[in-house]
Structure 1
Amino acid sequence: MVVTYKYVEIAVVSILMDYFNDSTKENQRIAAIVTNIQDGLSSLFVVIVSLISEAYTGYYTMITFCTAASIETSASSTKPSTFRAVYGAIFFLALGTSGKKLLEKFYEYQLKEKIKDRHARSGSTENKKEQDFTDKVLIKSWLYAPFVVGYVIIICFAFISIDTTYEHWFRLAALLMGGTYMLFLVGSVGYSREELPIESNLHKIYRIFKAALGKRHEKYPTSPSRYYWKDSKRDRSCEYREGVRLLPRVPRLFRWLDKAAILEVEDSTASLELQEKNEKLCTVKEVRDVKSLVPMFYLCFAFFGYSLLLATESTFFVSQASNMTSNITTNDNDISILILIMEASSDVTRFICFLIGRAFRHFKKFSCIDNVCNKKAAIARIGFGMVCAIICSLMAWQVEVGRLKVSKQMLYEDGRNSTVALVPQFSTLGISKGLVEGGIGSLFHGHVVKSMWSFDDAYKELVIGSGKLMIIPLVLCIPSWFGDTLNSSRLDKFYLMLGILNAAFLLVFCYYSFRYAYKDVLPQDDPAVEDENVDFICQSSVGIDPKTIILTQTKY
């Protein structure tokens, strides 16, 4: 199933731009908009199905729904269709492709359970650190094995097939998806079913916002004892201006979430339990868990330029390849090979980063002693990835400038109008994806509490999907850049703008990551329009201990 999803991603979804242009006889702008709508919907569905599977159904049931949608879309696309029918098909295609993330999570969970059972049966007394290192490398290797098989299948079909049409690719995708799903069902008796939580994280967030809004007019307490600590330690609070706040720090817009844990005067134990049951009171631990998500959502604005570049991957990059001379294969299947090069570069980069990270943690000499070190590594990884995004944009700019010159002069001997010229920008984009998206996952796990880690895929899709939808207004509002055909467009200007945007947002990322994601030891909120100099005192809930007082003056 994982192999089939990889095949569908490269051989079907990646060529939709070219398919819309050829089959529907529409112009490039409309085809780009439809393709980005499909990509944006796919990211949105990843968020929806991951939340539903986590809270209600589990992975297995949602994978079934997504696979059925993918089979139906691939089968219906084998016949020529009007453009109106295409609008209906992209909904089911987006739902189908969203199952890939769920399947990878399900596959990883099964591997972990099998290894855990093997250790339990063997009663291994091997060093726990050595065993943990070996197990994680083994799991990661098994996770990447289906991708390698998928790449081999794509290469075989791209170079061996003589007269391949879009309908052949779609028909084969439907047959492969149906066949592998039958195998998936046969193996269901051997699967380990994951336990569903008593309460979903999404409902927890809803409870805290509801309770905080109900107490929005209350003042912050002057003592930590006025918070509902329940069974947790009364620590990590700070005195800030008008009252005591809870750590970790968050931007000013969300610091009122602390009010969800404020106690009423003279509340009895029975009254507290009743308020908690009626969703009018939350514990300090629950509030902290949700607050750990807030800085990460602020940080997602720094990836806007990167997400715009990703939106060009399946649209204008593909349009470039379809309008250039095919030199990689003899069957005009260069687009699939270019996408394969990009995906392979991304997966290889992620695997190398994983091995380096595991090696550093494995050897005691280089091991990180705290979570800050892991955040530093993730921030550096994302930074290098965004630099690669800048390089990719500039490469695409130069290739498009050369292609426009060649197209005007109708000269092809210099090779600049060949698809081979696109290999560097696709490879660099793949490296950028491997660094940035892998780094986002590491930073998310390093900053957000473990109970909220189920949101990691949803967060990454939110970052990526925003650019795929935001590029649509650009296409509509700047017709001089995005013409009806590639030769009437000025994509070189667009790619240059992407390079400048990614450079600017790299600086924004550096600011936000160090302001909110890296420096998580100081309890001050976002000062915004506060006084220029702010004094604050961190204290424990049992009183102020002179040894634990931290008095800091920060000038903003």
Structure 2
Amino acid sequence: MALQENKSSEKTNSSGVTKKFWLRYLFDNFNTLPFISALVVAYKYVEIAVVSILMDYFNDSTEANQRIAAIVTNLQDGLSSLFVVIVSLISEAYTGYYTMITFCTAVSIEGLMLLWTSASSTKPSTFRAVYGAIFFLALGASGQKLLENFFEYQLGEKIKARHGSEAVRSGSTENKKEQDFTDKVIIKTWLYGPFVVGYVITICFAFINIDIHTTYEHWFRFAALLMGGTFMLFLVGSEWYSREKLPIESNLHKIYRIFKAALRKRHEKYPTSPSRYYWKDSKRDDSYEYHEGVRLLPRVPRLFRWLDKAAILEAEDSTVSLELQEKNEKLCTVKEVRDVKSLVPMFYLCFAFFGYSLLLATESTFFVSQASNMRAHFTTNNNDISILVLIMEATSDVSQFICFLIGRAFRHFTKFSCFDNVCNKKAAIARIGFGMVCAIICSLMAWRVEVGRLNVSKQMEYWDGRNSTVALVPQFSVLGISKGLVEGGIQNLFHGHVVKSMWSFDDAYEKLVIGSGKLMIIPLVLCIPSWFGDTLNSSRLDKFYLMLGILNAAFLLVFCYYSFRYAYKDVLPQDDPAVEDENVDFVSQSSVEIESKNHNTDTD
């Protein structure tokens, strides 16, 4: 009886703390969160209101044709994705997130000021500043994802500090589960709060009745002032930020060591016994026989199987100790080799997203060109492009948040531990597959809209609804759903297949997948001038959109083949990376505690 009363009291106290935690969280963390969230708002506004209209700005401000404008815009998008990969690797290994965010934001402000200068002057020589702005904006945009990760890290640190000595978590398992569920929902809710504010600012500014000839100048000036002001707030709050600790060795250097050691031993034969590998503290049953030698799990395509040689021991009569060989980067442990090999199948999956990345490349180019050549419906000053992009971003964020809530709620309320690593992989594959189906639907919608628009343009019947921007709402909305499902699913699949010590590559991998199509569409535009003419009406984008639908359908089959071929094979249950969350907490990716844990346990 007393035990029941104690449990009831613990549950009541836990519930009471949770309610107070929700109500007072804003005030207790005023010294940190508003400064970071303000800069998140500025980045979101620049993404929607500035980057999205660059294609239209190039067409209106220069004598360049649509093809040149599309190439320049896709070059900016592709460079932005490439810079995200570089910046994330540098911040993870050397500088930390705060330093790199400061650098990227300063570069973004410089790019916005150059755009403001080019839009406020009629001199052709002044407009050349826009090419410098493209580079600065591409580099500065890489700080947006770092800032979101840094925001999640600060929230996680505040939650850990508030829990203190784990008094709330020391109760029953149900209380721990409920608190974990609450913590994750709080973090995601706070992250999406600045997004909503950025959407509201974009809507308000889009409906301001200003002269169409000064629209770009006003957009760029407001964006530069907004980001400059929020950047100053971000610097003011730096005194209270929690700084993440850098790992002893970066994952990029670990990959370099393994490739270096494997190349050095490339002529050696595979051993016939598992004992000829440098297991160190790893289990010796993580191998398989192939032809006349023993290989290490997991199985990877033939092109990367030679990485196993990095863990082959030297001759038995060698006078150099194993520890010294490892220190001199001539020998790697089996666990390190397996960690790096877990990345290989994910990079093979990059080819399956080629059609999807091509569709994303059209969002900021030819979708924008369509909107600028159709009658405005939402605003009276031709700001419908920003409204359409806002609809796409909002549907993307909502779909991601709904998937997160469904996954967290299923884990929270289910009584069975069925959501193991394999179940997470299946859920991620299903999510990506449905997102790629939405990409096919979006391509077919764009094809039908463009066919109708071309017919209306020939007949000069501008009263027809097919020549209004309202006809573009379905394809932008479906594209947003596709982005939310595919990009979130890619992260989940990455976390389910790659070992936890390599999870810091998830952002770089996602941007690498997306950026490849944005760069590959450039030679496509140059090689098929009949599809991509100097103007929209002289182009045949309907054929291009139809081709995108067929490509996405074909690559959906490729994705199914590769994912099912490498998602479940040779993954040992005891070594599975226990995926605790569909969107892993940023703390688990960057803290030294996790890094040290990965060196003391076998996770694969």
Distance in 2 (alpha carbons) for counterparts of 1:292 and 1:79: 48
Shift of 1:84: 4.4
* Aligned-partner SS, 2:294: strand
CA contact (8 A) 2:446 2:475 kept: yes
2:333 equivalent in structure 1: 283
Match in the other structure for 1:453: 503
SS of 1:290's equivalent in the other structure is: helix
Q: Is 1:154–2:202 an aligned residue pair?
A: yes
- Give the counterpart letter for 2:244 in structure 1: E
1:21 pairs with one of 59, 65, 78: 59
Question: Structure 2 CA distance, aligned partners of 1:229 and 1:366?
Answer: 35
Asked if the contact 1:107–1:143 (Cα under 8 Å) also holds between the matched residues in 2, the reply is yes
Tell me which residue corresponds to 1:110: 154
Report 1:478-493 matches (<5 A). 478-493=528-543
* Structure 1 residue ranges, 4+ long, deviating more than 6 angstroms after superposition: none
Q: Deviation string for 1:320-372 (max 9, x for gaps)?
A: 00000001112211000000000000000000000001111112336425210
8 Å Cα contact 1:20-1:26 kept in structure 2: yes
- TM-score of the aligned structures, taking structure 1 as reference length: 0.92
Partner of 1:350: 400
Aligned residue type for 1:244: V
Matched, 1:53 2:91: yes
Q: Structure 1 counterpart of 2:227, which letter?
A: M
Q: 1:76 aligns with which of 111, 114, 121?
A: 114
Counting only pairs closer than 5 Å after superposition, residues 353-392 of structure 1 correspond to structure 2 as: 353-365=403-415, 367-392=417-442
Is 1:96 the counterpart of 2:140? The answer is yes
Gap regions ≥5 residues in structure 1:
524-556
Residue of structure 2 equivalent to 1:191: 241
Superposed CA deviations along residues 489-523 of structure 1, whole A, max 9, x for unmatched, are: 00000000000000000000000000012334499
Q: Which residue of 2 aligns with 1:546?
A: none
Q: 2 CA distance for matches of 1:339 and 1:292?
A: 36
Seen in structure 2, the aligned counterparts of structure 1 residues 10 and 388 have a Cα distance that, compared at 3 Å, is same
Q: Any gaps of 5 or more consecutive residues in structure 2? A: 1-38, 119-123, 574-604
Secondary structure of residue in 1 paired with 2:224: helix
- Matched residue count: 523
Deviations 1:24-43 (CA, angstroms, capped at 9, x unpaired): 22100000000000000000
Q: State the alpha-carbon separation in 1 of the partners of residues 209 and 318 from structure 2.
A: 76
1:528 equivalent in structure 2 = none
**Residue matched to 2:464:** 414
SS at match of 1:239: strand
Tell me if the contact between 2:297 and 2:570 (Cα under 8 Å) persists in the aligned partners. Answer: no
Shift of 1:128: 1.4
Going from structure 1 to structure 2, the CA distance change for 1:244 and 1:168 (only over 3 Å counts) comes to same
Query: Pairwise mapping of residues 248-259 of structure 1 onto structure 2 (< 5 A)?
Result: 248-259=298-309
| Counterparts of 1:247 and 1:415, CA distance in 2 | 59
Q: Bigger shift: 359-368 or 370-379? A: 359-368
Alignment TM-score, normalising by the size of structure 2: 0.85
Letter of the 1:150 counterpart: G
Change in Cα spacing, 1:122 to 1:446, as seen in structure 2 (3 Å) is closer
In the TM superposition, what whole-angstrom CA distance separates every residue of 1:404-433 from its partner, at most 9, and x where no partner exists? 000011002221000000000000000000
Are 2:193 and 1:145 equivalent residues in the alignment? yes
Q: Among the aligned pairs, what percent are the same residue?
A: 88
Match of 1:438 in 2: 488
AA paired with 2:413? Answer: F
- Supply the distance in 2 between the matched residues of 1:476 and 1:406 (Cα, whole angstroms): 27
AA matched with 1:175: L
Following superposition, the deviation at residue 230 of structure 1 comes to 1.1
State whether structure 2 residue 103 is matched by structure 1 residue 65: yes
1:349/1:435 contact within 8 Å kept: yes
Q: Deviation of residue 236 (structure 1)?
A: 1.2
Measure how far apart 1:66 and its partner are.
0.5
Which is worse superposed, 494-503 or 270-279? 270-279
Secondary structure at 1:468 match in 2:
helix
- Aligned-partner Cα distance in 2 for 1:345–1:447: 27
2: CA distance, partners of 1:149 / 1:60:
23
- Aligned partners of 1:366, 1:441: CA distance in 2, in Å? 24
Letter in 2 for 1:31: A
Q: Is the 8 A contact 1:393 1:498 kept in 2?
A: yes
Counterpart of 1:131 in structure 2 is: 179
Say which is worse superposed, 76-85 or 37-46, in terms of deviation. Answer: 76-85
**Greater displacement, 419-428 / 236-245:** 236-245
1:120 corresponds to 2:168: no
Q: Deviations over 1:230-257 (max 9, x none)?
A: 1222221111112111101111110110
Q: 1:296·1:517 contact (CA, 8 Å) conserved in 2?
A: no
**Pairwise CA distance, 1:271:** 1.9
Question: Which of 349, 360, 385 pairs up with 1:299?
Answer: 349
Preserved CA contact (<8 Å) 2:114 2:132: no
* Cα drift, residue 86 of structure 1: 2.8
**1:38 aligned partner:** 76
By how many angstroms is 1:267 displaced? Answer: 5.7
User: Hey, what's the Cα distance between the residues in 2 that align with 1:94 and 1:369?
Assistant: 39
Distance 2:319 2:222 in 1: 64
Over 3 Å counting, the alpha-carbon distance change for 1:10 and 1:502 in structure 2 is same
TM-aligned CA deviation for residue 278 of structure 1: 1.4
Residues 360 and 366, structure 1, Cα contact 8 Å, conserved in 2: no
* Change in 2 beyond 3 A, CA 1:369/1:486: closer
